[in-house]
Amino acid sequence: MAAVPQHVHLKYLVNGEEAPVSFAPYKTLLEVLREDLNLTGTKHGCELGECGACAVLVDGEPQLSCLVLGVECEGRHIETVEGLADGGTLHPLQAAFADFGAAQCGYCTPGILMTAKALLDKNPNVNRDQIKEAISGNLCRCTGYLQIFEAIEEAAKQMGAK
Amino acid sequence: MSLKVIGKSRRRVDGRSKVTGQTRFADDIVLPRMLHCRLLRSQHPHADILEINSEKAEKLPGVHLVLTGKDFPVPFGIMPVSQDEYPLANGRVRYVGDPIAAVIAKDEQTATAALDLVEVKFKVLKTISDPQEALQTSEPRIHEYGEHGNIHRIQSYEFGDVGEALAKADHVFDDVFFYEGNTHLPIEQHASVAAPDGEGKLTLWSSTQVPHYIHRALSRALQMPAAHIRVIACPNGGGFGGKCDLHNHEIVVSRAALKLGRPVKICLNREEVFYMHRGRHPVLMRMRTGVTKDGKLTGMHLQTLLDGGGYGSYGAASTFYTGVLQTVTYELPRYKFDACRAFTNKPPCGPKRGHGTPQPRFGQEVQLDKIAEKLKLDPAELRLNIVAKPNTLTANWLKIGTIGLAECIRQVVARSDWKNRFRKLPEGRGVGIACSSYLTGAGLPIYWNKMPHSGVQLLADRSGQITVFCGATEIGQGSDDVLAAMVAEVLGIDPYDIRCITGDTAITPVDLGSYSSRVTVMMGNAAIQAAEKLKAQIAEAAAEQLEVLPSQLLFSHGKVFHPESSNKSLSFREAVEFAEAKFGTLGAVGSYSPPRAPGRYKGAGVGPSPAYSYSACVVEVEVDKATGWLAVPKIWIAHDLGRAVNPVLARGQVEGSVYMGLAEALMEEQVFRRLPPKMSHALVHKIPSLLEYKSPTSLDMPEIDTILVEDPDPNCPFGAKEAGQGPLLPVMPAVANAIFDAVGVRIDEVPITPEKILRALELKAAGKNPRVGPERFPEVPYPPSTFVLPPWENGDGKETKRDDAVAVV
Amino acid sequence: MMRLPWFDYRAPRSVAEASKILAGEGPAAMLIAGGTDLLPNMKRRHQTPKVLVSLKGIEELKKISNGSGLNLGSGLTLAEVVHGKNIKEKYTALYQAAAQVATVHLRNMGTLGGNLCLDTRCTYYNQNHEWRKAIDFCLKKDGDICWVATASKRCVAVSSTDTAPAMIALDAKVRLEGPSGGREIPVETLYKNDGIDYLSRTPDEILTAVTIPGGWKSTYWKLRRRGAFDFPVLGVAVALKFSGKVIEDARIALGAAASRPFLVAKASDFLKGRTLSDEVIAEVSTLVANRAKPMDNTDMDLYWRKEVADDFAGYALRELRGDDMREIRLRIARHAL
């Protein structure tokens, strides 16, 4: 094991800002975000890819940070819930989630918000079936999903209207 | 009175934090010099610990401390009658996953590595895997306390002569049902951080629904004055009852932090959350119900057998809850209820959403469907005809207030086009109906006392700000929003201008916690009382300034004013200033205790509630006859919640309940594997993972038509009853009843899976009884009943000698 | 939090370089592509490779080309396969299989090569180390007994790849590159019916590409509990070539019914020269179902899984006949495919 470094030093691009980070190389992106960058907005529910709570955007695509190696993210653009609002102005998805009851306990919310952002970034003209499909990898135990669908539809409307 | 805040759909007051990632859950807390804890858990389902050697673990670089049972001499338990757990095993382990030792290290990685170095010698004991086995196996006893053998609780209550009621009935229906256990599965795994402060006092942040009970328990477990302990309930990432108990790890990190003088954190992994459990008890039930030929109930004899798992937990209460609420939905003249909870070598069961009542509710509602079928009555009509009457007492002396159930039934019947669909849809498609009721807060606290169940304190100052303090715990249900709404409504201000400080035993008045659907009614009533007191002071000072009578003033839109003279108006801030000048520093408290229940017999304490909520549900199913594959395209649910405080949140509670109920109906099960006993004594959770314990995804969720029925209850704040548990209850039986409508088979157990449906269809094709479910109810040594006469048989709410009772009748 | 064990990480830029590292490190090294299968296994200590050789940075594995058939690099993510040009239309079974793997997120991460090489699964195996300790481990890892079939000398962990049965039905070939050169083999021969030693790939070989011939009309039906996340508990892939209504060539493959995905030769042969009448479909479905030997090591009741195998074969055949199966598909898959 002597050959394995105790720490690696890398640079990520997190929410549009350069983020130099130093961490133990066994860590996943989830651990680096939460523990080394103090971005605790990204949650975890299983760390095995079975719930979707840790979803973030890696180069614009929703991925599960619990199964992305930290060492593989050098130079990658990572987007987390902390970077979703525009300064003090909530992203339309955030506003709609808050207004439509889409966040009850709020624990699965960051992962769903980021997943929905990727969906709407690609195509704001989404229908209910596409929304259901897009967030089917994010378990929510509180809502029964319906208010989440409605919030994403509302955000899509707002974003289309812009 | 026109309401300005209550009843309007709004963004919840804590909504912005939740969507920006700023809500700080327990595992999000990071403190300087913080260490990390992991627990060594038993690999054996039942064993004596002969020896623990932690020397090697202690020597691993980065390890700071190893704790074992020796460090925790005092047992704990949430119920005073079940002090049967130790933070770390005290010589005996009772299920796979029972904590044995704790390692505290510089990081989780090191702590995990050290766990492998803790050496434990076990003497393996015989295991018990289910209640029937427990009844037959008196030795070894899993616990030395309890009734006898491996029976934890056993009891019997009879309200009026049920034998006679059944004998006089036109028909007696006798059914056996089984409800499999399942678990809460909050997406947030339990986490706790304990830290000593500068004075050596302890603070514990935890994902808990019951900071007050943790506070009491920690004081006992650590043998430390409660005044030196502060418990802060972080917002929970889902609770559902799973964070209602005291948990081993909460006590362990507290002890570790005090010993090391440093913050210590633990976050359970998903497998450990399954072991923590305290979820739905598996319950086998026998239900004998007498009915008249026109579908009136004459009496019911319910027998339940609960699989309790390895510890008491809330089990003493759960045992009662499998029976006590059977009486508040429909008119039931006589009722007998026998219950038994057995210990088994599995993670302990406890309260999950609906605590103990979904199981008998499933049985009763499926049985009612069978009754309607036999009597050739429409099951919706049958129910409408027997809905309990408002403002009455039940056979077991529960006081019912408002009942919106009839309206709920009418709503789901109308919206689902029931009359044109029931028994009229093409083969393979069907609709089913079921109803339910639930508590709005337990009438008694977990430990006996005469103090309030909820307290609220208000701070107001010259800035016009209002801060509300309450021990209630935000678990996602919106308790902070209810608190702000109540105070805002009374004071006529914007709820977003109110700061809520909740769930902190150092600075908030006691509230017993987020369980039994008690928060809205208890905290809400306390909040109104506090706000009314403050309002009176402000009104008095403002009236003096405006030269009117205090009673003439209105509080609305951030103003205090006389409605008929436009110049007699102050801003709320100005009014508070005058009040502070007149009375000195402002503050007000409110508290709430539920009304005393009329039952006077021993055991009458479980079941009473300030109010009961009611639900009716219609489920539509499609069954593929070749495979048994089941699809649920739509669910209609009407819930009588008295009044919706914030309809968007209320709807979310109802739909979330439907989600969880449907999941229990179709796929969730906390089940265990016992390996061939000749080869292994293993008894393990079959599927402790989020992949194999099935929670429905967005693609599995049907459309839901949610109807909020409002029949304000005078016992409740602005009439608001509960919405977070009751609507779960009718979903499972409605699914089962819909399947019967679709293909004519009965599945008398939960979950209802395609293989069971197919098996029943094959039985039907072979001309046999088209039913899948438990065959028989075992012999259970229930004791002689506590006999109580119902109110309408000249009862006085006390236990009566049966001979006397017969004489009276 | 579940954490990975310590490992050394290497990121070669070419297949040749990766091969060299693999050869140099021997069995202590493992390949990682998307990581969605390996990393959970490492967190549960099924595998604890000292060296991880990442294929992520190798551009040549991400190629997609159309010629006489379709050539897919093994490093393409499943999402890239799903959205690949013409794949839905011309290689429908592959599209339907890839689109039903796990979840959106995992398809953005997991690769085609990874899904083809997916570790076999078993409810006694896919558990944390602590859980496996409680059953004294099992034949597949660290133990002596197969708890699914205690008399079995062979591990019966189940092949759970969705794309492999589709590939087998489509008569695809995989390319394996090793230190002594490359070879191309039919996909069905990549697998062995052994839950432990389930691939014929040698440890120093890298699966680099898949070639699928065109001209098949194909479909894939997956059985699982939920509309997402779940691995198949039965997968039926059927590819047919028609001359008018007469079947010229047929390939039916089963997944999640043994430790390997396999071609059901008897059923495939039976179809040749026939038309898809109800009777033929019933007969073939029975032949297919006879080959399904589910074990009690996945979700859902094993007898039921066996019982519905013919129904699923029937769905596939009826769909290829042109029956409107959208409603049944929607009920089973929960989304249109």
Nearest to A45 among B270, B655, B658 (CB): B270
Gap between the Cα atoms of B70 and B763, Å rounded: 57
| Interchain pair B476, A44: CB under 8 A | no
Q: Does B622 touch chain C (CB under 8 A)?
A: yes
Distances (CA, A) of B548 to B319, B464, B541, B560, B564: 58, 22, 10, 12, 11
pLDDT in the model for residue B804: 55
Instruction: Report chain A residues whose CB lies below 8 A from the CB of C229.
Output: 50, 136-137
The enclosing H or E element of B430 equals strand B429-439
Nearest to A94 among B19, B23, B690 (CB): B19
Mean pLDDT value across chain B:
97
Q: Show which subunits contact C, needing at least 3 CB pairs below 8 angstroms.
A: A, B
Cβ–Cβ contacts within 10 Å for residue B802, how many?
14
CB of B471 closer than 8 Å to CB of B234: no
Q: pLDDT at residue B805 above 90?
A: no
Gap between the Cα atoms of B781 and B338, Å rounded: 10
Q: Does A128 touch chain B (CB under 8 A)?
A: no
pLDDT tier, B808 (very low <50, low <70, confident <90, very high otherwise): very low
Instruction: Report chain B residues whose CB lies below 8 A from the CB of C327.
Output: none
| Interchain pair A1, C6: CB under 8 A | yes
Report the complex ipTM.
0.98
Nearest to B112 among C3, C229, C332 (CB): C3
Nearest to C331 among B269, B631, B675 (CB): B631
| Interchain pair B189, A45: CB under 8 A | yes
**Tens-digit pLDDT profile for residues C91-132:** 999 999 999 999 999 999 999 999 999 999 999 999 999 999
The residue with tokens 């403190």 is B31
CB of B495 closer than 8 Å to CB of B5: yes
pLDDT in the model for residue B1: 62
Gap between the Cα atoms of C270 and C252, Å rounded: 11
Q: Is B607 left (phi over 0), alpha (psi -120 to 50) or beta?
A: left
CA distance C93 to chain B (A): 21
pLDDT in the model for residue B51: 98
Gap between the Cα atoms of A7 and A18, Å rounded: 19
Q: pLDDT at residue A4 above 80?
A: no
- How far is C-alpha B713 from the geometric centre of its chain's CA atoms? 21
pLDDT in the model for residue C68: 82
pLDDT in the model for residue B803: 65
pLDDT in the model for residue B807: 45
Nearest to A52 among C3, C103, C334 (CB): C103
Helical residues (DSSP H) of B277-332, grouped into ranges = 315-321
Percent of chain B residues topping a pLDDT of 70:
99
The residue with tokens 């070598």 is B345
Distances (CA, A) of A65 to A10, B162, B544, C36: 16, 60, 62, 11
Q: Does A46 touch chain C (CB under 8 A)?
A: yes
Cβ–Cβ contacts within 10 Å for residue B448, how many?
8
Instruction: Report chain B residues whose CB lies below 8 A from the CB of C142.
Output: none
| Interchain pair C150, B679: CB under 8 A | yes
DSSP string, B617-663: EEEEEEE-TTT--EEEEEEEEEEE-SS-SSHHHHHHHHHHHHHHHHH
pLDDT tier, B809 (very low <50, low <70, confident <90, very high otherwise): very low
CA distance B588 to chain A (A): 30
**C5 Cβ partners below 8 Å, 6+ apart?**
A26, C42, C45, C48
| Closest residue on chain A to B477 (Cα) | A104
**Tens-digit pLDDT profile for residues B201-215:** 999 999 999 999 999
Gap between the Cα atoms of A154 and B12, Å rounded: 17
**Tens-digit pLDDT profile for residues B408-465:** 999 999 999 999 999 999 999 999 999 999 999 999 999 999 999 999 999 999 999 9
Average the pLDDT over B715-743 and give the result. 98
Amino acid (1-letter code) at residue C176: L
Q: Which of B352, B340, B220 is nearest to B285 (CA)?
A: B340
DSSP string, C154-223: S--PBP--SHHHHHHHTT-EEEEEETTEEEEEEGGGGB-S-SSS-B-S-TT-EEEEEEEES--EEEEEEE
Q: Which of B132, B120, B136 is nearest to B49 (CA)?
A: B120
Q: pLDDT at residue A2 above 50?
A: no
Distances (CA, A) of C91 to B223, B793, C172, C262, C337: 69, 76, 11, 18, 13
Nearest to A63 among C32, C43, C109 (CB): C109
pLDDT in the model for residue B152: 98
Gap between the Cα atoms of C295 and C293, Å rounded: 6
CA distance C303 to chain B (A): 8
**Tens-digit pLDDT profile for residues B500-558:** 999 999 999 999 999 999 999 999 999 999 999 999 999 999 999 999 999 999 999 99
Cross-strand partners of C115: none
For the record, the structure tokens of B753 come out as 């899976």
Residues 59-98 of A with CB under 8 A from B: 80-82, 84-85, 90, 93-95, 97-98
For the record, the structure tokens of B419 come out as 């009359």
Q: Per-residue confidence of chain C (337 residues) as pLDDT tens digits?
A: 999 999 999 999 999 999 999 999 999 999 999 999 999 999 999 999 999 999 999 999 999 998 889 999 999 999 999 999 999 999 999 999 999 999 999 999 999 999 999 999 999 999 999 999 999 999 999 999 999 999 999 999 999 999 999 999 999 999 999 988 999 999 999 999 999 999 999 989 999 999 999 999 999 999 999 999 999 999 999 999 999 999 999 999 999 999 999 999 999 999 999 999 999 999 999 999 999 999 999 999 999 999 999 999 999 999 999 999 999 999 999 988 8
Q: Does A105 touch chain C (CB under 8 A)?
A: no
CB of C266 closer than 8 Å to CB of C287: yes
pLDDT in the model for residue A1: 42
Interface residue ranges in chain C relative to chain B, Cβ cutoff 8 Å: 1-3, 123, 126-128, 130-131, 133-136, 145, 147, 150, 225-230, 299-301, 303-304, 307-308, 311, 328, 331-332, 334-335
Q: Which of B416, B405, B421 is nearest to B365 (CA)?
A: B405
For the record, the structure tokens of C22 come out as 């693999």
pLDDT tier, A160 (very low <50, low <70, confident <90, very high otherwise): confident
| Interchain pair A143, B655: CB under 8 A | yes
pLDDT in the model for residue B566: 87
**Tens-digit pLDDT profile for residues B16-60:** 999 999 999 999 999 999 999 999 999 999 999 999 999 999 999
**Tens-digit pLDDT profile for residues B139-198:** 999 999 999 999 999 999 999 999 999 999 999 999 999 999 999 999 999 999 999 999
Q: pLDDT at residue B747 above 80?
A: yes
Residues 133-152 of A with CB under 8 A from B: 133, 135-149
Average the pLDDT over B589-599 and give the result. 97
Nearest to B187 among A26, A35, A108 (CB): A108
Instruction: Report chain A residues whose CB lies below 8 A from the CB of C79.
Output: 61
Helical residues (DSSP H) of B107-199, grouped into ranges = 108-115, 131-136, 162-168
Cross-strand partners of B469: B457, B501
